[in-house]
Structure formats: structure tokens, C-alpha cells
Structure 1
Amino acid sequence: MKKSVLTLTLALLCSQNVFAQDQPTLDPGKSTYTSVRCWYRSGATHDEASTEWKWAKNSDGSYYTVPGYWYSSVSPVNMFFTDVGQETIKQQCKQTLGIDHNAADITYFASDMRYSFNHSFWTNDKSNQTGKINKIVSFGDSISDTGNIFNAFQWRFPNPNSWFLGHFSNGFVWTEYLAQEKHLPLYTWAVGGAAGETEYGFLSGIHDQVNSYLQYMTMAKNYNPQNTLFTIEFGLNDFINYNRTVAEVSKDFTTALTTLFKNGAENIVVLTLPDASIAPQFKYSTPEHAQEVSAKIKQFNQYVTTEAMRFRMEGHNVALFDSMALFNDMTTTPAKYGFHNIKDACLNINRSSSKDYLMSHALTNDCASYGSDSYMFWGVTHPTTHTHHILAEEVAKKVSSQFNF
């Protein structure tokens, strides 16, 4: 995906008042309540990415509401803080929807009105905490984004008919599966298209994501960062789309982790980068570009490995997961992971262009025949939800013994 094309696409979206919404003024910190928007996959398999939603309701048919307070009076960047548990809200959605198939992928958001954004619920911690990890906070790019860029672009990017509810995949991403595995709530600061530094003035880079998290936490009751498991992965956009140097991205990595540790973080999972040159998008690139990207990724991974070791020696609990090794194993032994196809996109896309995220795409005949869960890649760049699930399972194995769950 060329930067000039990406710039044009984002400029077109911004020209249409990306952040303009007719919503009531919200009073930050003031006790109030909000409704719950319950999203679900309408199809019965991961082959159908489109979703629908309903308002959560009580058993008597009245609208279910959650008490709490808003972080901000600005709608596009907001969060609803509450003492109500995440599982309680989720169960209310399950009861409302009455859907039981495994691919429903039910998720939920705070929302005051029909045309408002999807906002995350943050469940405040109790004053008497056990010292165990009680939540996951993720930073990164489209591999971890669960709807932030989708919100910013008024639910049009990526196209909700072909990408699952703001995910750059056909279902949940790895952090969501990891949270499910550990029975923990997930809070996402990752943004699709993000790099180490902020791009275009609004695609928050890693350091700005960390600073945003710190700002939000000033409103969270009883929050203790030592009980949070942080996940961080980024760098692919830097090397593929923004032509940044390894030294620049390495500095961003160290700055982000140092900031987290200075502000009380102790438990972090760091992912090395997979060799992105195996993705279908590089069919439409030059061999020289693929080689350059691959070389930068390897150099950056070496730096990340060294830094993770340094932080551990300083007493921080940092788990390094080798994504490159896992993805290499997927491509060399695909049958081991249930893959029929590791080279092509499941969606019928035959180029590498950010414009395609605005469009709806059918499946290729082969993917429609074998099913998306047999494909490694959903589009030309991003993995299927099946691939994400595998990644999460392997990460869970890595972190289970290293962190206090």
C-alpha cells in the first residue's frame, strides 16, 4: 500500500467531516447512565463478516442501562466508566440477542443514541484488589485494533460488509482471543494504520497511544497498573507504508515501554514482527521492496529482543513472543494449523490499495469452497480470525506461567 494512496484515501474521508456527529453534550465525570449497543455477526460462519446490532434490553422489554460517567465531552474520543462488570454487560447482550452459534462474536459498546459512536466500557476496580492481573490493555496497529479507526471514520473504514466491525479481519483479533482465554476484560488503544509516531495528525502512534491511556486512567477509580497485562506490537506500517528507518522505530519502542514502566506498569507482552513479505500484498510490489521490508523487520526484531532482555534485567516482567517464528511455521507446515491456503487473500482482491478498505468484496471461489478458516489471510495484508486465534493460543501458552493470573 503506497503512502500517497493511503494519504488520498484518508484525505477523502476527512473531507467528509470524519469527526462530525450530532450528539448531545456529555459532561465528563458527572454521574449519569448510558445504553448498551450489542453487536453480533448475522451469519453463522466467519465467511460472512457483516454485523448487526440491537439495544440491550431487560427481561421485561425495557431498555437496559448502565450507570457511570463519561471521560470526555468530545464524542469521537471517549469512554464510559462504570462499576458494572464486563461479564454482566455481555450477558445482558447475550440474553437480548438470543444467539447461540459460535461465530456470533458478540461484542458491546456504550452509546447514548442511535447515531452515536461505539464507546468502550471501562469497569472500575474495587478498592481491595488481589494483586493478580485483572485486565488487558493493548497498544499497536491494525493487528490489534478492535474498532478505533472504524469509529473515527463513521463506520465506513474498513467497509463493514467485508471486515468485521472495524477489525481488519473477518472476526476477533488476537488480543480478544487472549482476553477470552484468560477471562479478562480487554481495553484497546491500538489504531489501524498506526506507526511508532503519529501519522497524518490523527493516526495515533505508539507513544501517543500510551499517553492517551495515561490520560484516561486519571478518571479510573482504584486503578493499579501493576495488575494490568499490557500488549504491544507495531512496526509493520512504519516499514511498509511510511519508509521509516529501523533506528527511528526502535527509539519509539524504547520510549513507549520506558513511559509505561515509569507510570507503574510491570507486566508487558511484546510481539516481534512476522515477516510481512509473505503477505499476498507483496505479489503487487517489487522484489526490492519486499527484501527491504523483510530486512528492516529482522533488524527491528533483533533490537526488540535485546531491549526486552534489558528491561527484564532491570526487574520488569516482559514476555517476548516470537511472532516471526510462528508465522514461518504456519507457512512451512500449514496443515498443522488447518490451513488450505497460505498465499492468497480470502477476499477477491487483486491489488494492494487502501481504497479497497472502502469497498465490499466477495470471497474468491476457492475460499468460498474451503471456508475462510482454512485461509491464513483475509485480505491481501491482514490475517483471518483463524490465524489470530492461533496466535492468541500460542501467546497464551507463553504468558500463562510468567504472569500472575
Structure 2
Amino acid sequence: MKKQAVAAGFVLFSFMLPTKASAVSFDQLYVFGDSLSDTGNIYNLTDKGYPQSPPYFEGRFSDGPNWVDYFGDQLGLKPTLSPIIPSTPISTQGINFAIGGASSGLDNAVVPDSGLPGVLKQVLDFAGTLKANNQTANPDALYTLWGGGNDFLFPNPKDSTTPNSNISVALNTLVGAGAKNILVFNLPDLGELPAAKSRGRNPTALSQSSSEFDLGLAETVSVLNQNPNLNIFSVDIYSLFNQASALGFTNVTESCLSRPDICNPGNNKFLFWDDVHPTTAAHKLVADTALAAIEAKSVPEPAINLGILAVGAFGVVGVLKRQQKRSALVSAGRVFDAQLSHTIVEN
């Protein structure tokens, strides 16, 4: 009943917002994050050995393109992979620094002490390179930040203080480097992941951790939004995934890979591909929601302060409207990195 009430609120809220006439436009796309946003960094570093393809799709932790692929197509931008990848050309359209297993901080949560950068380290290195060259971040580019889930999964801390602090520092570092447009994602309910119900994990603790993290992130974003020179676009993944059933997903509890009898890669109604990563259909939904959140930012707000949930709500409503115009969810097209040492063995 609670979820139904929230969904009804989303629909009601959609009638409060005018439509946006102009198109979204950025000239570069920079991505910071973990395996939810990795489009091939870990894959290339492991000589295309991980994630294993098949069943995974071309270095994505999913059965098809991930949200960065879809979102980049929507913006007309294709960022290259991280410069730490050998022989990677630097694109004028941006760079994807996200790497599978990244913690919210300096290290890799799945393979510690490996030299692989966490989300904060990705941002610090980017800002440091700009400073060393007496440059500032392109104010007309879009910078995306999604991380924190691995901190709770490998292992699960008792509080969210450190992950919140890391993401807050990362956001403020981007702002200090000159970034003006930042897209930031919160976490879904980690207690609802298929992985939360296996390997001795505590779903209740994971749910509490993700809720506390999202609250802390909302406070950070609220402070940044007081700066009129910034555009902070918030994507409410928590609400989005809680409404997955209403958005056409018929299985939101199991991973597709755990059901080979009915799993159809690239064209299925599963929310999760493996124990922690969304299917390509879910990634497409994330991309649509991200675009809707950006469009919502330029819409005049009512006098009352709608806050971060309102932006997320607009994103969900935007996706619902887009889906009504399609005959089916596009088949060819999160979160949280699968254990580099367990996921493939398990599957």
C-alpha cells in the first residue's frame, strides 16, 4: 500500500510541472563511478577477461549497454575510456573514469591495494591534472557521479559516515575545479538486491545503510544547490527501483542469471542481471530518468521547496510518459559492483 501511495504521488506531481521546450545540450561528458558506469575500463585492464563475455556484454556489467551508453546516445556524446587504460585515445567528447569495484574513496573495494582508483580518487586525479596544467573544468560539460554501494557490500560498515564524506568531498572537488553541471545518483535499497539475501548478508542492515547514505547525500546536494552558479541534477534511483514493477519489470527479486530457464539476455523483464547489477533494460530506464532529471531542472519550480525527491519523482514520471509513447521497452537498451572474485564463478 505504501509503494502504491508513493506511485500515486509521483503521478499527481507530474500535473504540477510544465513541459520543457528546449533540448538538453552539453559539449562533453565526464563519468566517475564504479561498475554501474564502467563501459570497459576493467574489461580492458584484464585483457578482456572480466567481466566474462558472454554472458556479460562487451565489458559492461550487464547483458547489454549500460546507462552511460544510452545516456551518451541521448546527448550525442561518446566519452572515451580512462587514460589509465593503455593505448586509449583522449576524446574531445569526454572521458569515462568509472571502474568496476571502485569504493567511494581512494581504493578498490573488491580488490584492495590494487592501484585501481575509487570514486574520490578518480575525481582527485582529474582535478589534479587540470591544476597541474593551469586549467579548469569545462563549464559547458556534464559531470556524473555515482558510487557508494561497494562500501556497504564489501564489507557492510555499521554507518554511512565515510561513504557520505567521500562523495561529498568528490562533489565539492568537482565544483572547486570549475564544474558547473553535475549529475549525481543516490543508492537503491541495497537490502532488496538479490545479493542481500545470500552469502550471509543482512538485508535489514543494508537497507538502513543505503537509506542513511541517501539522506546524507541529499543534505550535501541541498547545500550545493544554494549556489546559483551550479546545476546539480539529482537522480532518485531509490524511488525508481522501488517502482520497477509499475514500470514493466515482472521480476524484481531474482537475478536473470539465476534463472537460465527464462532468462533472455538483452530482452527480458528482469530488473537485475546478476546479484547486484541491473539488466540493460533497467539501465535504459536509468538513462531516461537521468535525462528527465536534467530537463526538470530548467522548469520553474513552485514556490515551495520541492527538494531532491521531487527531482527524482519528475524523473520517474518522465520515464512513464516516454514509455507510453513506445510500443515496448527498447530491448537493446548499477549499483554496485559484482564481486570480481565471485560473480563469474557463481554464474
Whether these two folds match at TM > 0.5 is yes
- In structure 2, the residue matched to 1:133 is 26
- Shift, 1:218, TM fit: 7.4
- In structure 2, the residue matched to 1:124 is none
AA of the residue aligned to 1:249: P
- In structure 1, the residue matched to 2:66 is 173
- Shift, 1:157, TM fit: 1.2
AA of the residue aligned to 1:383: P
Q: Is the Cα–Cα contact under 8 Å of residues 197 and 203 in structure 2 kept in the other structure?
A: no
- The 1:240–1:136 alpha-carbon spacing in structure 2 relative to 1, beyond 3 Å, is same
SS state of the match for residue 184, structure 2?
strand
Per-residue CA distance 1:99-152 (angstroms, 9 max, x = gap): xxxxxxxxxxxxxxxxxxxxxxxxxxxxxxxx9521211111111111111122
The answer as to 2:217 corresponding to 1:304 is yes
SS state of the match for residue 263, structure 2?
helix
What are the equivalent positions in structure 2 for 1:210-249 lying under 5 Å apart?
210-214=123-127, 224-244=137-157, 245-249=159-163
**Which of 354, 367, 373 is the aligned partner of 2:263?**
367
Structure 1: runs of 5+ lacking an equivalent: 1-130, 349-362
SS state of the match for residue 226, structure 1?
coil
Range that drifts further, 250-259 or 393-402: 393-402
* TM-score normalized with structure 1 length: 0.58
CA–CA distance in structure 1, aligned partners of residues 100 and 200 of structure 2:
24
CA–CA distance in structure 1, aligned partners of residues 40 and 298 of structure 2:
27
Q: Is the Cα–Cα contact under 8 Å of residues 346 and 372 in structure 1 kept in the other structure?
A: no
- Pairwise CA RMSD: 2.6
The answer as to 2:237 corresponding to 1:323 is yes
What are the equivalent positions in structure 2 for 1:4-403 lying under 5 Å apart?
133-186=26-79, 187-197=95-105, 198-199=107-108, 200-201=112-113, 202-214=115-127, 224-244=137-157, 245-286=159-200, 289-315=202-228, 316-330=230-244, 334=245, 336-348=246-258, 364-368=260-264, 372-402=267-297
- Shift, 1:403, TM fit: 6.3
CA–CA distance in structure 2, aligned partners of residues 220 and 277 of structure 1:
44
- Shift, 1:402, TM fit: 2.8
Question: Which structure has the higher relative contact order (CA within 8 Å, separation 6+)?
Answer: 2
- The 1:256–1:403 alpha-carbon spacing in structure 2 relative to 1, beyond 3 Å, is farther
- The 1:374–1:275 alpha-carbon spacing in structure 2 relative to 1, beyond 3 Å, is same
CA–CA distance in structure 2, aligned partners of residues 221 and 147 of structure 1:
30
- In structure 1, the residue matched to 2:327 is none
Per-residue CA distance 1:21-43 (angstroms, 9 max, x = gap): xxxxxxxxxxxxxxxxxxxxxxx
AA of the residue aligned to 1:343: T
SS state of the match for residue 339, structure 1?
coil
AA of the residue aligned to 1:260: L
Q: Is the Cα–Cα contact under 8 Å of residues 267 and 403 in structure 1 kept in the other structure?
A: no
Structure 2: runs of 5+ lacking an equivalent: 1-23, 80-94, 300-347
Q: Is the Cα–Cα contact under 8 Å of residues 373 and 386 in structure 1 kept in the other structure?
A: yes
CA–CA distance in structure 2, aligned partners of residues 216 and 326 of structure 1:
35
CA–CA distance in structure 2, aligned partners of residues 191 and 371 of structure 1:
22
* TM-score normalized with structure 2 length: 0.67
CA–CA distance in structure 1, aligned partners of residues 117 and 276 of structure 2:
20
- The 1:388–1:345 alpha-carbon spacing in structure 2 relative to 1, beyond 3 Å, is same
CA–CA distance in structure 2, aligned partners of residues 203 and 247 of structure 1:
22
AA of the residue aligned to 1:337: L
CA–CA distance in structure 1, aligned partners of residues 206 and 291 of structure 2:
28
- Shift, 1:168, TM fit: 0.6
SS state of the match for residue 257, structure 2?
coil
Q: Percent identity?
A: 28
- The 1:338–1:312 alpha-carbon spacing in structure 2 relative to 1, beyond 3 Å, is same
- Shift, 1:220, TM fit: 9.5
CA–CA distance in structure 2, aligned partners of residues 213 and 394 of structure 1:
26
CA–CA distance in structure 1, aligned partners of residues 182 and 152 of structure 2:
23
SS state of the match for residue 47, structure 2?
coil
- In structure 1, the residue matched to 2:321 is none
